[in-house]
Structure 1
Amino acid sequence: MRYFSKSPEEWEKYDELRKKEKETKEKPKKRIIRWTFYIIIFLSLLTIVFIFIGRENSRLDLPYNVVIKGINVYLQAEEDYYYPNVLDIKVILQNTNNKETHIKIENFSFLIINKENAEIIYSFVFPDIVETTINPFQTILIFDLLREKEIKALNQGVYEARATFTINGQNINLNKSFKYNQDLFLDIQNKEMFYLSDEFPTVDILLINRTNQIFESELNGEFIITKRDVEIYSQSFSYGKMSIKPLSSTVLNFKIGYNLNPGTYYLVFNFDPLNQSYVTTINIVDSIEQDIEDLDLILYAISTANRGDQLIFEGLLRNSKKRERAFEISKIVFKLFHEDKLIYNYENTDIMRVYIPELGTSKVFDIANTKSIVLDRSGRYKIQFIVESHGNVFSKDHTFVVY
């Protein structure tokens, strides 16, 4: 018989060859799978070891956090404090065990020192013994600096908080460094989210004297516009001698005397006497868009809260197109109801420019910038939020419960 392709023997050899080729290709995959399996087992065992060490051994390797037999003790402090803010430092204990634990605290002491000259700023000693039983996963406050003394207006520098005591016979030493800042703060703020290409953009220079002395200095420097690391324009500026009292602020208006083509640019302000530089961005467009029906309204808000909590709410607009959007908002309405009764009403009809990058979002409202609202009543709340722009109305409701 004549075979038009291959004989049975040839096909058999061909199949064997293909099988060997397949096995050769599969070897690296099997090796990868095998090593991946080994790695997963190793990581699982390592996790168990760390959990065991964290619960049963003496401590985690953090100067402000210690774990002893499931009792987690930590010193809570900010990395930075700003004049004239009060130091808020706490020592907290948490029972991470799933059973009640008896604790005995002895010889508690707390210090704040200046790390530059070792000066003791504050000292607290409580030699008495304190014993208590804490429930599973319960957290208790061991020490609260705010309850003992109000410490503020420190000189600028680096400080260290130290807490030393014993728990169930085990020595505890906690420490954490922080910086207390006294300085002149500057911020560059755009007056609008975008500007037209035939406009001269203006920005505000905000200066806040967060020191205990009058700030007196010349304020001058250089202003630079860049795009993709290419310098587009630069100019010098000078506001003469400034005098700002402690905890006072001033706002300076800066007008860019240059028309920019559409795009996003970096604005760089170099303040020579302060030896500081500040950078912000600016968006330039050809025209204001009128057709914005396809925008989406997004609400960021709490779903539940406790009595006494502050209301958190933000309203954003989302752009689902692969191009930037630049338009104006003509009206914003925010209403808060408690058990269907209106308790707060906000309405703003000032024209507001909004710029949204492609496939991005832009915040158009934040209740924190309008009013501080404390949720002092239990029950059901409802928020009505409305945005009007170029004849379009975007509206959403949100409900939440306060316990």
Structure 2
Amino acid sequence: MKYLSKDPDEWRKKESEILKREQERTQKHRKRGFYFLILNLVVVFLFFFGIRNYYAQLSIEKSPTNQILIVCEDVHASGTPLDVQIRLYNNSDKKREVTVSEFTFQIFNNENQQFYNFKQSQPVKATFEPFTSRLLFDLKREREITQLPSGEYTIHVELNINGERTSAQKKFRSVERYQLIVENLNDFYFVGEQAQLKVSLINQTARTQDLRVDSFTVSLKHDDRTIWQNAVKTKPIWQGVKVGEIIDLVEKISVPFNEEGIYTLQIDCVVNGSTSSLVMPVACIKNAEKSLKKMKIYTDAPKIHSLRSPLQFSVYILNDSKDQIFIEVEEIMVSLIPSSLNFKKGPVRMWLTPYSKYEIFKFYPYSISAITQPGSYKLLVKVTTKNDRLDFESILQVNE
């Protein structure tokens, strides 16, 4: 008999070879799967070991029920009043009656010498709502400290809270310098305009002294190139300048803006051999924005506020676009009804970079006299230009 393909023996031989190859391939896949399984087990082990080791380093202690917070800047400019506040936080989720006694506030210099000391032995009782704070001490109300020599200082606070002794401390640094102040500088100018500036100097050192002005220079730079500079003559000697006192170096200096662009205005003044510099960006444009449609107003004012706590918030105008905006604002109005607060400002030239905010009003803690009674207060803001207007309204609930 003839076979058109292979005879049966050849087929059996061929099937045997195919089966052998399949078995070898299966063994390879099994080995590969086994190695992959081992690798996954190692990764999982390392992952859980790492997580366990990470959480083992974390403290399992709960936050203390009574927490003391020292509020002050890390760097203090000598010649200005030192601003320090001590606040007590109730980290409990329950309302508590607290008695504070034997309060001690101290400031030490870097040689551990006591610079200032305040003690209050008389007990003070207060009621704390859950997760709220109270102001315990405000340095400005007790003493104005301005003559603070350069160096590092430590604030140390101790007090008894319901009979339990608690303490806290914080370091800050005091810096002595001569600070320049520029008035009447706009964010931008139109081509062909001149800025008319007044420049003053503050003695932010720890002592009254004679100031010798060796040089005073105003420069306008573009792309690190000085395109205009003026060495201004000023009064050479200022005698008996007190701590924090301001002297007027130049009543009026003109700075020309002849071409469109983004510039840097730099002022350098050498006082008693020490150079003080001030660098500020300023733009020169052809046309300003006329519409307020790319902007909106918002505030960080709380929705609910307690009369027992200091209130501080700001109102901003936000550039809600990817474009640079140069706009002339005719008037800004902020009122808090029914309080006596009624703020007005204008005209103002604003330069807003993409998605940036511009502070147009700030409510400081010392303005709290405007809010004397609990109730519902309405914050109204209005920003107007020659061609447009932007309004904003928010409610502030004030509780006792």
> When the two structures are superposed, what TM-score results if normalisation uses the length of structure 1?
0.66
Partners of 1:108 and 1:343 lie apart in 2 by 36
> 1:388 corresponds to which residue?
384
Q: Is the 8 A contact 2:178 2:276 kept in 1?
A: no
CA separation of 1:240 and 1:34: change in aligned 2, threshold 3 A? farther
C-alpha separation in 1, matches of 2:102 and 2:372: 40
Q: Which amino acid aligns with 1:295?
A: K
Distance, in Å, in 1 between the alignment partners of 2:116 and 2:354 is 53
Instruction: Quote the offset at 1:109 in angstroms.
Output: 7.4
2-structure distance, mates of 1:148, 1:330 = 38
Pair 231,402 (structure 1): closer, same or farther in 2 beyond 3 Å: same
Deviation at 1:281, TM superposition (A): 0.6
For the structure 1 residues 357 and 93, does the alpha-carbon distance in structure 2 shift closer, same or farther, using more than 3 Å as the test?
Answer: closer
1:368–1:276 CA distance, 2 compared to 1 (3 A): same
Tell me which amino acid in the other structure corresponds to 1:263: G
1:152 match: 145
Instruction: Decide whether the 8 Å contact of 2:217 with 2:231 is kept in 1.
Output: yes
Give the drift of 1:317: 4.4
Q: 1:205 aligned to 2:203?
A: no
Partner of 1:324: 324
Determine the structure 1 residue equivalent to 2:4. Answer: none
Partners of 1:164 and 1:220 in 2: CA distance: 49
Q: 1:229 aligns with which of 203, 217, 224?
A: 224
Q: Which amino acid aligns with 1:328?
A: E
What are the equivalent positions in structure 2 for 1:4-403 lying under 5 Å apart?
38-39=46-47, 42-43=50-51, 45-47=53-55, 49-52=57-60, 54=61, 70=64, 76=70, 78=72, 79-81=74-76, 82-83=78-79, 85=81, 88=84, 90=86, 111-116=106-111, 118-122=112-116, 144=137, 146=139, 150=143, 152-158=145-151, 159-162=153-156, 175-189=169-183, 191-211=185-205, 212-218=207-213, 220-241=215-236, 243=238, 244-251=241-248, 252-253=250-251, 255-273=253-271, 274-290=274-290, 292-302=291-301, 303-307=303-307, 309-310=310-311, 312-320=313-321, 322-338=322-338, 343-348=340-345, 350-363=346-359, 365-368=360-363, 372-373=367-368, 374-403=370-399
Residue pair 2:180, 2:276 contacting (<8 A) in 1 also: no
Equivalent-residue separation in structure 1 for 2:253 and 2:266 (angstroms): 14
Gaps of 5+ in 2: 1-17, 122-127
CA-to-aligned-CA distance 1:133-164 (integer Å, 9 cap, x gap): x99978799x8585996472444133334468
Amino acid at match of 2:261: G
Q: How big is the shift at 1:280?
A: 0.9
Q: Please, what TM-score do these two structures have when normalized by structure 2?
A: 0.67
Give per-residue Cα distances to partners, 1:222-242, cap 9 Å, x unaligned.
Answer: 333333334433332332225
* Structure-1 separation of matches of 2:105 and 2:204: 28
Counterpart-to-counterpart distance in 1, 2:169 and 2:159 = 12
Equivalent position of 1:63 in the other structure:
none
**2 CA distance for matches of 1:377 and 1:209?**
41
C-alpha separation between the residues in 2 aligned to 1:384 and 1:145? 31
Q: 1:85 to 1:259 in 2, by over 3 A?
A: closer
Task: Please report how far the alpha carbon of residue 300 of structure 1 lies from its aligned counterpart in structure 2 after TM superposition.
Answer: 0.9
SS of the aligned residue for 1:396 comes to strand
Give 1:59's aligned residue.
none
In 2, Cα distance between equivalents of 1:358 and 1:269: 27
Partner of 2:13: none
Q: Deviations over 1:341-395 (max 9, x none)?
A: x7444445x43222223444434x21449x9353222111112222221221222
SS in 2 for 1:76: strand
1:269-315 CA-to-partner distances (Å, cap 9, x unmatched) read: 2222332222111111012343x152322121422212264463414
- Structure 1 residue runs of 5 or longer lacking an equivalent are 1-8, 56-66, 128-133
CA distance in structure 2 between the partners assigned to 1:147 and 1:280 by the alignment: 31
1:4 aligned residue: none
Q: How many residues align?
A: 357
**What is the percent sequence identity of the aligned residues?**
16
8 Å CA contact retained: 1:87, 1:150: no
In 2, the alpha carbon distance for the partners of 1:94 and 1:259 equals: 53
RMSD, aligned α-carbons? 5.0
Q: Using a 3 Å threshold, how does the CA distance of structure 1 residues 218 and 289 change in structure 2: closer, same or farther?
A: same
Residues 1:89 and 1:335: Cα distance change in structure 2 (over 3 Å): closer
Amino acid corresponding to residue 300 of structure 1 in structure 2:
T
Q: Which has the larger radius of gyration?
A: 2
In structure 2, distance between residues paired with 1:343 and 1:108: 36
